[in-house]
Amino acid sequence: MNKININPFFYFLALISIFTGLFKQFLIMYLIIIVHEFGHIFFALIFKYKIIKINIYPFGGYSIFQNDLNISFIKEFLVFLGGILFQFILYLIFKYNINNYSFIYKIFINYNTSIILFNLIPIIPLDGSKVINILLNNFISFKYAQLITIYISYIFVFIMIVLFHNNLNMNIMILLLLFLLIKEHKIHKYLFNNFLVERLVKEIRFKKNNFINKLNLNKMMKYRNNIFIIDNKYISEKEILYKKYN
């Protein structure tokens, strides 16, 4: 329980929902949010991620994990897909246990669909940005995949500001996303250094290789064994990284 962090505005929103007669909607929305976060946590625990914090915000949730940066594509994809997968399971439970024409069911469908679509927006730290980052890492280097994901996030923050500038709830959410995005942008060099250190100190093997013609660490890829070609010699990434850090 000490890993669950509930934002004070959550309680304010709960109180407002009681006085405005929208408490049922509030409960349904947070049931979906909690199930969504549990989906991420479920797969994170399977793959032995360490749970650092589960944040509950006024209009959503955000789980922070400690895990290796150099893990397989499948593991990462399942952890990030877990939220939507569990929302689909919740949808099946509602569909076959609640009258499909009832007020509760209609509210649930509306919120469930909205939360899925919102989470697929490619803004850090939403699931959409993580899927974009995972896909980019299959084709370009770790560093550039991270930077492109950050720049795409800024573009979509701007688009959302333009589209929802008159919506108070969305403005609050956009400000929160922008805060988390800026925080991620500030540590991108630190993450890249962690990526390199992990490649040095841990035994990491992938099926495919990435050949780099120059001594350029920025071109190292996440889901590949990186092999440097220098003076017509093939040099492993561990040899290169050992010289860098020793």
Confidence band for 88, pLDDT divided at 50, 70 and 90: very high
Distances (CA, A) of 98 to 24, 91, 94, 239: 15, 10, 5, 61
Range name among 104-113, 163-172, 204-213 with the lowest pLDDT average: 163-172
What are the tens digits of pLDDT across the range 109-149? 999 999 999 999 999 989 999 999 999 999 999 999 999 99
Confidence band for 57, pLDDT divided at 50, 70 and 90: confident
Q: Which DSSP helix (H) or strand (E) runs through 225?
A: strand 225-230
9: left (phi over 0), alpha (psi -120 to 50) or beta: alpha
Confidence band for 193, pLDDT divided at 50, 70 and 90: very high
How high is the pLDDT of residue 234?
Answer: 93
Whether 164 contacts 170, CB under 8 Å: yes
- For 35-60, what is the mean pLDDT? 87
Confidence band for 80, pLDDT divided at 50, 70 and 90: confident
